[in-house]
Structure 1
Amino acid sequence: MLTSNKVSFSVLDLAIIKEHHDAADAFDRSLDLARHTEDWGYKRFWLAEHHNMVNVGSSATAVLIGHIAGGTKSIRVGSGGIMLPNHAPLMVAEQFGTLASLYPERIDLGLGRAPGTDQTTARALRRDRLETVEEFPRDLEELQHYFSNENIDGKVRAIPGEGLDVPIYLLGSSMSSAQLAARKGLPYAFASHFAPAQFLDAIRYYRANFRPSVYLKEPYIISCINVVAAESEEKADKLATSFYQMALGIIRRKSYPLREPVDSMDSIWSREEAAAIQQMMACSFVGTEKTISDDLRRFLEMTEVDELMISTNIYEHQERLKSYEITAKVMKNLQG
């Protein structure tokens, strides 16, 4: 049964740096995108923490969230996510408490357990901190404690942060975060845009084992997907080659900036690389408004997720805006 009338739609952005451009350009484009998607009805605008990547400008995620929230009026802004093992929970509580104080009822805190980078860079980020992904549940509890009113008599308090309503979302690309989100009664966001292998198993587990909490009464699932929409199939296919070239860096364990589209990928990737990217990008939708609409309808019928978080990486900014505008129209039509 299609439940798309309940499905919200949002934006995932990494302040992607284009070839021959700098981070300042990426930040300008991110803010412009946020302002447009706010007008088009997108619910939230999330930024992801990554480090030591030449194509990602959102490394100082909390700072950039403040920039986006300060330049918009109503759209929720948050992290998709903050990689908690890289940070002391107290600092995260203070940073997001500050953001929530500046922009009341507009700030989300999505948390991931991965480092968002290679291990060498992770060690540089953490210095003498020994926290690893295994300590993630403990760090989460500490963070929640800092936000709670019950910590008013604590020896260590998050000021600002204590007592503020900063919704926490758990992010993941495997069963681990699904298990923790279900046990803690928290909303769950799956990175299906680049790691779809365990997506269906993870959301089934989460729904079946969800325990209601003071934060959430029923399961809530966000699926991140890639969308490239254009006026024609041919144009959409060409625009998507910029995204494919960037994704190729993941396969090759390199970081490529966002490059101009090409007529064909045949001379750029091998047959094996193309197959690997096709598998990795299984939750990607490329085409016209009708194609995207048909494909998303089927996707929603199959997954019954509560929210789609749209990631769209297109070289030309105006074409990227157009894709998000088409996607918004599609989602509103699906909602009836």
Structure 2
Amino acid sequence: MIEAAFRVLKVLEESDTPISGEEISKQLDISRSAVWKHVQELRSYGYEIASSRAEGYDLIASPDRLLPYEIEKHLKTWHIGRYFDYHDSVPSTIGVAKELCRNKNPSELHGMVVIAEEQSGGVGRLGRAWYSPRGGIWTTIILRPAIPVDHVFMVTMAASIAVARTIRKFCGAGALIKWPNDIYIGNEKIAGVLQEISAEAETVNYCLLSIGIDANISEEQLPSGVKTPITTLFRACGAPVDRARFLAQLLREFETRYREIESGEYHTIAREWKSLSLTLDKRVKITTPRKSFEGEAIDIDEYGALIVRKDNGKVERVFSGDCTPA
């Protein structure tokens, strides 16, 4: 029913003056009763629609929601975002994406974007909780990549670049990437990227790319007592951002770089990532389940490994772990 409701919304948006239910029913070839039901549904999603017997319906305001209709108005992609799966609240978008992949051929889901207004059980790296209140951008993209399994981390790199570039375009803030998957403004974290894959031998069955961004979140909503300082798009831009427009731009930025990866342009992605790095040329501490060491982050290779020169002079490639300033 929601698609039919958005057809009514489109008519309301295109009308410069209030429009009668009778006129809407004629334009869409539906009953006036159906028009009324669709208007009620739109109101339930937060659209402010005035109505009167004399003048008809008038769209007053749209909600700050990541509804597919609102995103698609700004979307300029080939494949990413051709399907959306929208939720008001879920434990996690990656959990929804996994269930979709269990029930359907992942190749048919390629490019689908799962969105939630809030997550009650968001998960970050190493199973850590990810605070995900309303006002943020919480999404998982389902991909069926034609990429060698040893280069799949490039997808995370492409997403990190896309987030940083979109923040820079919207806010003019100097967003940078902290290896392996966080986006910072100054010394404050604003977003994170998480990737999970299902693979057999050298074949990637599917890739789930989750992106979490603290967007229109107030100071009161931010968690207290966390080790990493947090900021928001609201604070960085000085005003609330149009989340639907922001996400549409982000998906476009990501798709551009994702296509480069599928074309084998790994060095192009690595070069851009380096230009936005908060980690390279810095002294860092690497912590993995097996060991911990310090050194200088000197490079990142085309597989996404961080190259660290240890204090003893030896060079080590780090594929996963925590990376913090030393």
TM-score range, shorter chain: under 0.3
TM-score of the superposition, structure 2-length normalised?
A: 0.25
TM-score of the superposition, structure 1-length normalised?
A: 0.25
Query: Higher strand proportion, which one?
Result: 2
- Larger Rg: 1 or 2? 2
